[in-house]
Amino acid sequence: MKLALREVSYAIASPSVIAAKAVDALVAEARLTPKPALVDENGSGAHRDLDLGTMLCSANALQPTFLAIARAASQARPSQALREQLARIGREGEAAMMRATGGSNAHRGAIWIIGLLCAGAAMHASDDSASICLSAADIARFDDRYAPASVGTSHGARAVERFHVKGARGEARDGFPHALRIGLPALDDARARGANESDARLDALMAIIASLDDTCLLHRGGLQALEAAQRGARKVIDCGGVASGTGRRALKALHEALMKLNASPGGAADLLAATLFLDSLRRLP
């Protein structure tokens, strides 16, 4: 007897699973050690107002935000109305983050980046990272007509204007190329070479830093800091990655150089979290 096959469409994860994976990605990024001039288990890096405990509190405080975003986007299509609904949820999430951290900005950029990817994931009936990023980009291309004036005067916005770079909004509107085309391939390549998971994630971070015009670095240290970060990250890669002895020494030198400049690659850290989030969706049963 021949059975007829029926196409079945299903979401890769419920909104609650998407939100949990988003928080897990932020926690994994925060705990990853050693990172150059970033908060990790070794210390606060170049951040005076942040530590690992604060980062973890912030990540967990954002679970309701990511859940609300995923629910709002589930079975929806990119639109002006959806963009503005997600922006309102994001602003509420930012307020929750600030309450959890006592006023420290731990994850403002990540709320934008991971929030959009949560929305993209909730829209799709596949685990295809490219499709998720494309939907997130379609949402990001709509303007938020209700955005407060402070958005245009943020550190990132000022760096975008001064140095003529894309910034977080440009990254989102382009479909998160530093997560999709740089972070994920670097992560996969390091795993294929036999690197342990921590080293593979650090290699992905190095690949992102080496390519990204990071507005966090530009704000805190100008072009000198950006060039030092990109040059140092490329050296780690050229040494064979952090799993090698020379690569690990190059990573230490990068950390020391950025600490002297009091500059931190926070934008790259957010995009590493985005990379880990997309990776976790690929690996769902």
pLDDT in tens, 255-280: 999 999 999 999 999 999 999 999 99
Instruction: Name the domain count of the chain.
Output: 1
pLDDT on residue 9: 40
CATH code for the domain of 170: 1.10.4200
Q: CA-CA distance, 73 to 59, in Å (whole number)? A: 21
Average pLDDT over residues 225-239: 98
Question: Is residue 7 in some structural domain?
Answer: no
pLDDT on residue 2: 39
Across all residues in the chain, what is the average pLDDT? 92
Question: Is residue 3 in some structural domain?
Answer: no
Residue 3 has pLDDT above 70, yes or no: no
CB 214 within 8 A of CB 258: no
Give 18-59 pLDDT, tens digit per residue.
Answer: 999 999 999 999 999 999 999 999 999 999 899 999 999 999
Tokens read off for 39 = 């908060």
Residue 240 has pLDDT above 90, yes or no: yes
pLDDT on residue 11: 44
Buried-state track 200-209, b at ≥16 Cβ within 10 A, e below 16: bbbbbbbbbb
pLDDT on residue 205: 98
What pTM was estimated for this model as a whole?
Answer: 0.93
pLDDT on residue 39: 98
Average pLDDT over residues 213-224: 95
CB 188 within 8 A of CB 259: no
Give 157-199 pLDDT, tens digit per residue.
Answer: 788 888 889 999 999 999 999 999 999 999 999 999 999 999 9
Question: Is residue 8 in some structural domain?
Answer: no
Reported as a pLDDT band with limits 50, 70 and 90, residue 17 is very high
Which of 226, 184, 222 shows the shortest CA–CA distance to 205? 184
State how far the alpha carbon of 22 is from the alpha carbons of 13, 39, 65, 80, 228, in Å: 12, 18, 10, 24, 30
Question: Is residue 191 in some structural domain?
Answer: yes
pLDDT on residue 73: 97
Question: Is residue 151 in some structural domain?
Answer: no
Question: Is residue 48 in some structural domain?
Answer: yes
47: containing domain:
15-145+158-280
Question: Is residue 6 in some structural domain?
Answer: no
pLDDT on residue 136: 97
Question: Is residue 1 in some structural domain?
Answer: no
